[in-house]
């Protein structure tokens, strides 16, 4: 599986103006202040940044940076089932 945690951390930090030193890969997004609306904003940011489409059905898997990276890897075709359109 492609490991996109560093890139996802960057997008999270840029999108939500967070200090990268405070973003742990396994920290729940809610602990970072990212609620359900924030997860939608993150999904949109990832789609723009990477030029992919991530199905909204995958949004429930956005629980921490590591899980977001796994969904992104799938969308990019580098880690499992793909949801590209």
As a whole-number percent, the residues of the chain with pLDDT over 70 amount to 89
Spell out the residues 6+ positions from residue 47 whose beta carbon is closer than 8 angstroms to its own.
Answer: 53, 54
The pLDDT tens digits of the residues spanning 39-51 come to: 999 999 999 999 9
Contact 32/12 with Cβ under 8 angstroms? yes
**Predicted pLDDT of residue 79:** 61
pTM of the predicted model, to two decimals? 0.84
The pLDDT tens digits of the residues spanning 37-84 come to: 999 999 999 999 999 999 999 999 999 999 999 999 999 987 644 343
The pLDDT tens digits of the residues spanning 7-32 come to: 999 999 999 999 999 898 888 999 99
**Predicted pLDDT of residue 84:** 38
């Amino acid at each position: 599986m492609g490991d996109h945690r560093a890139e996802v951390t960057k997008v999270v930090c840029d999108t939500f103006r967070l200090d990268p030193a405070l973003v742990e890969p396994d920290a729940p997004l809610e602990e970072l202040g990212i609620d359900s609306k924030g997860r939608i904003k993150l999904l949109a940011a990832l789609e723009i940044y990477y030029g992919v489409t991530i199905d909204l059905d995958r949004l429930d898997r956005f629980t921490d940076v590591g899980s977001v990276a796994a969904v992104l890897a799938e969308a990019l075709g580098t880690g499992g089932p793909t949801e590209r359109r």
